[in-house]
Amino acid sequence: MFSNRTTAQSKRQTPTSPAQRPARLRNVVAATLAGAMIAVVPTSASASSPSFACDPGFYQVIAGQLAELSPGDATYDTIGPDHSNYNAMGYRSADGYLYAVKSGNLIRISADGAIETVGSLGISGSYAGDFADDGLLHISRGGRDWHTVDVDTLTVTAVPELSSYTAVADVTNVHGKFYGVSTDGALYRYDLEALTITEVGEVSGLPVELHAYGAAWATAGGNLYVGRNTGEIYQITGYSTSSPQATQVGSAPATSSNDGASCALAPVMAGLNDVDGPEPETEPSTPESQEASDNYSENYDDISAGFVESEPEPEPEPEPEPEPVQEESSTNAYVQDAGIGQGAGCDPSPDEDRPQRDPLANLVSVDTPTVLFDSSFNGSSMSDFTLLSGNWNMESGAFRQLNTCGFDYTSLLNSHVVNNFRWEATFSAVSTVNHGGLVFNQSSTDTRSGAFLVDLAEDGTIVRWGHYDNAGYFQYAGSSAITAPAVGESVTLAVEVHGADIEIFYQGQKLADATTSSPGGMVGLVASGTEVAFEDATLTALPETREVAS
């Protein structure tokens, strides 16, 4: 599952060991897709590292921690140590290892959870990936910047025909084609031979609220499964038709920055389900997948004895009525996307990279802590803020963001550019969950590139932080679990920043330290997918030199 949002903590700490048996080697068809090629020199990989057997199992990397889903008790079994974040992971049948992308490098993951850097890819930011029938690892940023990687030679090939943003956070290979579900619940098919992208259709049976489907898995018999970041595991049937259907077959802890992988030649694991039976929906694309499908059908009675009954389909929720677009006024303003988030109608943000960070000017410098802005929003004017996206209203002692169908609605305090400061706000959920937060180090109203975000996420159960890269895409950095505040319960979030160093506070208690490579800028308020009422906000400029306690 994709970043935009916590690291799940496994209730079971004993690593699984599906890889104590050697993996069955499988032949793959070698092919090279046309496109620009980047040749780099790989490093050698240790042959002594244990490999994964092609056994039933759904693997997931959760912000650097490899784990295997334990569907019987809806938890994860952790595998090996917790590393820094990696993504775009796939299982390679040819050698039984997982491969993924970490900070622009190709890494190989062993069955004990150890990682080994194979070499540099010369590209970064990929978070969706899997191996195709051509034996190559395919990676992208939600569809953008699609590349193939030969993990033996580290030849990287651009595939412009498939490089189109679809908001799909992970893909998996089902009988030679890739499938993934977008944030808004649409199924996409990627034909790797024809080099085409097809929006198959909206998947019925999925929740209507926007959320990432950050993990995708395939099993023998051409079965397709996806994991929603809120913890639900779905099987997608009818993926070869225009009417795909989701059935919940399991649960797991909620996750954020994560990705899934499985051996697509292995049958469905016990504790899940195969709701449409043993006959494959699509024809196997290789002799190996044909053999796996035949074996699955022949042994289905024994395998299905370990399945559990799927949860009944929820009643379909009515589509929300569109909010009428009003003219901007001093008390209520709907605004279109201006560099962050989505506009009043909640259409997807523009499918394009944001401009790079602008240079900073007129940085505030003080010798003693100086309050630059302090408001309880009682009788104040919204003119202090530049409204970049969303539906903002200021009345009755609160600055509210009222749209509920998108991410990163932002109001930017336009009067001060600061490098050393404390930015603090108190806010509450208006009707559902609290997804309010702070943005800072934003260089201008034209781009969010380089800005830093700290907010409540995952239904208000975590404080999450990260930055927007040079193209404006959010890069998760960390999170801390909290007790989700109730509707109307006020919470206070603050950051104290000295240049590149960031301290994060929640309810007056320090949660974490972070750093940024883009210090300085303007500050603002953010809400994602929920109505949030900001009750007060204070910006205090700090001296460049920190005071040392005696």
Q: For each of the chain's 550 residues, which pLDDT tens digit applies?
A: 333 323 332 222 223 333 332 332 222 222 322 333 333 333 344 557 899 999 999 999 997 899 999 998 899 999 999 998 899 999 999 999 999 999 889 999 999 999 999 999 988 778 899 999 999 999 998 888 999 999 999 999 999 999 988 889 999 999 999 999 998 899 999 999 999 999 999 999 999 877 789 999 999 999 999 999 889 999 999 999 999 999 999 999 988 678 999 999 999 999 999 999 999 999 999 999 999 999 999 999 999 999 998 655 555 555 444 444 333 333 444 444 444 444 444 544 444 567 888 899 889 999 999 999 999 887 666 778 988 888 888 877 889 988 877 788 899 998 899 999 999 999 999 988 999 999 999 999 888 899 999 999 888 999 999 998 888 888 889 999 999 999 999 999 999 999 999 999 999 999 999 999 999 999 999 998 889 999 999 999 999 987 654 4
Residues 6+ apart with CB under 8 A from 386: 338, 411, 412, 414, 445
- Can you read off the two tokens belonging to residue 445? 């109203």
For residues 340 and 480, membership in a common domain is answered with yes
- Distances in Å between the alpha carbon of 318 and those of 187, 291, 314? 20, 44, 12
For residues 235 and 364, membership in a common domain is answered with no
For residues 232 and 339, membership in a common domain is answered with no
Pairwise CA distance, residues 254 & 460, whole Å = 12
SS3 at position 93: coil
Helices of type H across 44-161: none
Helix-strand-coil split of the chain, %, nearest 5: 5, 40, 55
Domain presence at residue 164: yes
Last residue within a domain, chosen from 287, 304, 321: 304
For residues 271 and 181, membership in a common domain is answered with yes
Q: pTM to 2 decimals?
A: 0.60
For residues 255 and 338, membership in a common domain is answered with no
Domain presence at residue 194: yes
For residues 343 and 213, membership in a common domain is answered with no
The strands making up 87-92's β-sheet, listed across from edge to edge, are 87-92, 97-102, 105-109, 115-120
Instruction: Using only the alpha carbons of the chain, give its radius of gyration.
Output: 24
Pairwise CA distance, residues 482 & 433, whole Å = 13
Name the nearest CA neighbour of 398 among 539, 540, 531, 523: 531
For residues 387 and 287, membership in a common domain is answered with no
- Distances in Å between the alpha carbon of 425 and those of 136, 432, 444, 525? 48, 19, 21, 8
Which backbone phi and psi does 20 adopt, to 5 degrees? -70, -20
Last residue within a domain, chosen from 304, 324, 358: 304
Domain presence at residue 4: no
Domain presence at residue 310: no
- Can you read off the two tokens belonging to residue 147? 């590349």
Domain presence at residue 313: no
User: CB atoms < 10 A from the CB of 322, how many?
Assistant: 10
Last residue within a domain, chosen from 285, 304, 323: 304
Show the domain range for 419. Answer: 332-541
Helices of type H across 282-331: 287-298, 300-304
Sign of CA dihedral 108, 64, 230, 9: positive
For residues 120 and 222, membership in a common domain is answered with yes
DSSP 279: S
Domain presence at residue 536: yes
Rama region for 505: left / alpha / beta (φ>0; ψ in -120 to 50; rest): beta
- The answer to whether 467 and 448 are in contact (CB under 8 A) is no
Domain presence at residue 317: no
Domain presence at residue 314: no
In sequence order, the β-bridge partners of residue 460 are: none
CATH code at position 532: 2.60.120.560
- The answer to whether 528 and 457 are in contact (CB under 8 A) is yes
For residues 438 and 289, membership in a common domain is answered with no
For residues 36 and 168, membership in a common domain is answered with yes
- Distances in Å between the alpha carbon of 517 and those of 85, 360, 459? 17, 14, 29
Residue 361: half-sphere exposure toward Cβ, Cα within 13 Å? 3
CATH code at position 108: 2.120.10
User: CB atoms < 10 A from the CB of 510, how many?
Assistant: 11
For residues 284 and 366, membership in a common domain is answered with no
For residues 463 and 394, membership in a common domain is answered with yes
User: CB atoms < 10 A from the CB of 49, how many?
Assistant: 16
User: CB atoms < 10 A from the CB of 343, how many?
Assistant: 22
- Distances in Å between the alpha carbon of 43 and those of 47, 96, 117, 124? 13, 18, 8, 18
Domain count, the chain: 2
- Give the angle subtended at the CA of 425 by the CAs of 423 and 429, to the nearest 5°: 150
DSSP 297: H
Pairwise CA distance, residues 77 & 59, whole Å = 10
- Can you read off the two tokens belonging to residue 81? 């140590």
